[in-house]
Structure 1
Amino acid sequence: MNKITTNNRLISLDVLRGFVMFWIMSGEHIIHALAKAAPIPVFVWMSSQMHHTDWDGITFYDMIFPVFLFVAGVSMPYSFDKKIKLAGVTEPSELPSNEKKKIYFSMLKRTFILVFLGFVVNGLLRFDGYDQTRFASVLGRIGIAWFFAGLIYLNFDLKKQIVWFTGILIGYYLAMKLIPVPGFGAGDLTAEGSLEGYIDRLFLPGRLHSRVYDPEGIFSTIPAVSTALLGVFLGTFLKAEHPYYTIKNKVVIMTGSAVVLIITGLLWNFDFPINKHLWTSSFVCFVGGFSILFFLFFYVLIDVLGFKKWAFPLVLIGSNSILIYMAAEGLIDFKHTAEYVFGGLIEFSPLVWQPVFTTISVTVIQLILLYFLYRKKWFLKV
């Protein structure tokens, strides 16, 4: 089967990236507005899924960040493929040391840029002072976790990569359960009493997101490497060529892997609760399984069945996902622009529905901007 690609990109990856980013840039606000305008059970339930959990447990919104990191991992085998072929080797671990050094440099550059962009999103350029600046960030965690997953991918074969994946999750679990925190003891998984929170308070500079811990803190970034590695495993599997790997068999294997991960996460949840704030090992497994299922949906629909035109708006979002994330996080006031353009028309609608149409108009403005950038081939590539 010839995969559907644009500029050597797997379209289903851009679509999945666009799907999860849509909820951050404006989709969540549409759902919340719908739930208020028409409080029927389905909209109320969807609105409840557009919030992070207070602590243990999981919602759809908790999955967005790890799915995005997972997608970054899936892209890795594709992005390194050309360098591997030019070097005349079959495995990334077989690359000559001089080639690896070049890749390391480009990876470090990408990581530093993402960390810096994370600072910008957090308000670095407002110059509020060191104590008021939050240094941990979503983009920073993506860059750091992707970097270390890349080091593992480039230096170990698949079996050893799986050992790393498993070792990270078990090691994190044992550390969180067995290493005592002063004043709380060992195994305390509360915000203040957890080892993750304690390490953040000791070593994370500036302002913590939640005073006693940071959801993108230092220690919980370690299991995030395993989230990226799950994506690497899927990307490696998709690229693998073998007579047994027919489309049907690939779909069955991916589905089975997703189910195993979800069950593993649910079973581990009894002793190490699914918790995004701590990025627990059970969280990695549970969300990793759903990440595969989300990808599988778009992969089958777009790459296997060829239904791709409907997904063009998601391609627009996914191909410039970091830019629209930064813009939606406060760099651009899309609501002001939307009200300026569509405000007169919205006033003709019933009062209760005006917030719904306002949030939809924000999405329209965002898509117009993304379409303009897409046509100009202007992409924020990091």
Structure 2
Amino acid sequence: MKQRIASVDIFRGLTIALMILVNTPGTWSSVYPPLLHAEWHGYTPTDLVFPFFLFIVGTSIVFAYRNKTPGPAVYKKIGIRSLKLIGLGLFLGAFTLSFPFIEPFEQIRFPGVLQRIGVVFLAASLLYLHLNWKALLGLAAFILLGYWVWMGFIPLEGQVPTFDRAPNNWANYVDLHVFGTHMYKPDYDPEGLLSTLPSIVTAIFGIFTGLLLLSERKDKLRRMLFTGFVLVVLGHLWDLVFPINKALWTSSFVLVTAGWANVLLGLIYYLTDVRGMRFGSLFSYAGANAITVYFLSSFISKLFYMISVGEGQSVHGWLFQTLFVHEGLPLEFSSLLYGLAVVAFYLWLGWWMYRRKIFIKV
């Protein structure tokens, strides 16, 4: 019988809810600053959300594969799941309502959130199956230090490299030359190729926490909180020479986000698994079908922007203007209410699927 740790399920579902919230405001022109990404360097609460999900992917890998023996059957299962995630991400990027329902090839974005989840899941699962925690720690340090050296010290076509959004930024340079027009922006992609390397370390930190949670240690909470505090401090110190940056997924960003993930998961662990409080069950229901809920939210949101209801207004715009925009309410608040309503719907959907024992494994 598999050991269930309530806090892990709640954390996963909470992260999905936050991903939906920050991705679906009523209008992007009026959003409270904490619900927007940092323009470049630095971070906001929104910048924590995606790394939190990759972190809990790593934690979940420990639960899923701790009794698995590496071999063809396990590799096949991991590979198929990774390809499904990548395929769903490519579908989201390519879908359009115009026949043949695919964007012109040169406009299709190749990287994306689900694609990165698929690649990180593949790499982290294989690493967990074949390396002990000491080897994983050594590899994580090697990647983070190596990424810093690559990004900050190796000349790029005779120029001094930069961490700014510029042609002589290594991550932007690699993405532009590999993906060309298939990127989020003409000069960079927040889920780009080179920055995927440190994002794997985010999942590795999640693996460490998963190993701790399944251990027989009595001081799990203290270790999670202490580890989180140390990582946040180290990340901010590294920020002095390697800026915290989500778009580049810098090494300092990895440490800071993994630190905050440990702190938040530790607090939820204390409330649910230590104190036994019935807290956050609604999030755990959504977490049971996390990828399905996220995919549906992204796909339906895209449809709502594409489908017109007349006079050039989309379904999204009509719903927002009709139901949420009222005289006397700040537009930012109306925009937030729309996002919260969308989150509420998908939390209900997660609950409905859970109650009917519908679990779609991606």
TM-score (normalised: structure 2): 0.85
Report the counterpart of residue 352 of structure 1 in structure 2: 329
Tell me, in whole angstroms, the C-alpha distance in 2 between the residues paired with 1:9 and 1:117. Answer: 28
Is 1:256 equivalent to 2:226 in the alignment?
yes
Does the 8 A contact of 2:59 with 2:206 survive in 1? Answer: yes
Report the counterpart of residue 147 of structure 1 in structure 2: 122
Is 1:211 equivalent to 2:186 in the alignment?
yes
Tell me, in whole angstroms, the C-alpha distance in 1 between the residues paired with 2:337 and 2:304. Answer: 14
Deviation at 1:101? 2.7
Moved more, 62-71 or 141-150: 141-150
What's the RMSD between the two structures over aligned residues? 2.9
Q: For each residue in 1:232-257, what CA deviation from the matched residue of structure 2 results, as whole angstroms up to 9, or x when unmatched?
A: 1111111122xxx21xx221121111
5+ residue gaps in structure 1? 37-43, 84-94
Give the 3 Å change call, closer, same or farther, for CA 250–366 of structure 1 in structure 2.
closer
- How many residue pairs end up in the alignment? 342
Q: In the alignment, which of 4, 11, 20 is matched to residue 16 of structure 1?
A: 11
Does the 8 A contact of 1:317 with 1:324 survive in 2? Answer: yes
Does the 8 A contact of 1:25 with 1:324 survive in 2? Answer: no
Does the 8 A contact of 1:328 with 1:334 survive in 2? Answer: no
Give the 3 Å change call, closer, same or farther, for CA 11–334 of structure 1 in structure 2.
farther
Report the counterpart of residue 365 of structure 1 in structure 2: 345
Give the 3 Å change call, closer, same or farther, for CA 320–334 of structure 1 in structure 2.
farther
Report the counterpart of residue 91 of structure 1 in structure 2: none
The letter of the residue matching 1:315 is: S
Tell me, in whole angstroms, the C-alpha distance in 1 between the residues paired with 2:92 and 2:206. Answer: 25
Instruction: Determine helix, strand or coil for the equivalent of 1:352.
Output: coil
Deviation at 1:132? 0.2
The letter of the residue matching 2:75 is: Y
Give the 3 Å change call, closer, same or farther, for CA 352–286 of structure 1 in structure 2.
same
The letter of the residue matching 1:195 is: W
The letter of the residue matching 1:71 is: I
Report the counterpart of residue 176 of structure 2 in structure 1: 201
Is 1:123 equivalent to 2:100 in the alignment?
no
Q: In the alignment, which of 261, 264, 279 is matched to residue 291 of structure 1?
A: 261
Tell me, in whole angstroms, the C-alpha distance in 2 between the residues paired with 1:222 and 1:364. Answer: 34
Is 1:320 equivalent to 2:289 in the alignment?
yes
5+ residue gaps in structure 2? 306-314
Deviation at 1:102? 2.1
Tell me, in whole angstroms, the C-alpha distance in 1 between the residues paired with 2:26 and 2:212. Answer: 35
TM-score (normalised: structure 1): 0.81
Tell me, in whole angstroms, the C-alpha distance in 2 between the residues paired with 1:229 and 1:272. Answer: 20
Q: In the alignment, which of 28, 42, 48 is matched to residue 63 of structure 1?
A: 48
Does the 8 A contact of 1:130 with 1:206 survive in 2? Answer: no
Q: For each residue in 1:271-317, what CA deviation from the matched residue of structure 2 results, as whole angstroms up to 9, or x when unmatched?
A: 10000000000000111100101111111111111112x41221122
Report the counterpart of residue 211 of structure 2 in structure 1: 236
Report the counterpart of residue 159 of structure 1 in structure 2: 134
Report the counterpart of residue 356 of structure 2 in structure 1: 376
Does the 8 A contact of 1:169 with 1:281 survive in 2? Answer: yes
Report the counterpart of residue 331 of structure 1 in structure 2: 300
The letter of the residue matching 2:224 is: M
Deviation at 1:364? 3.6
Percent identical among aligned pairs is: 30
Tell me, in whole angstroms, the C-alpha distance in 2 between the residues paired with 1:66 and 1:106. Answer: 24
Tell me, in whole angstroms, the C-alpha distance in 2 between the residues paired with 1:281 and 1:109. Answer: 29
Tell me, in whole angstroms, the C-alpha distance in 2 between the residues paired with 1:71 and 1:281. Answer: 18
Within 5 Å, give how 1:64-213 maps onto structure 2.
Answer: 64-83=49-68, 95=69, 99-124=70-95, 126-182=101-157, 185-192=159-166, 193-204=168-179, 206-213=181-188
Q: In the alignment, which of 172, 175, 200 is matched to residue 225 of structure 1?
A: 200
The letter of the residue matching 2:42 is: G
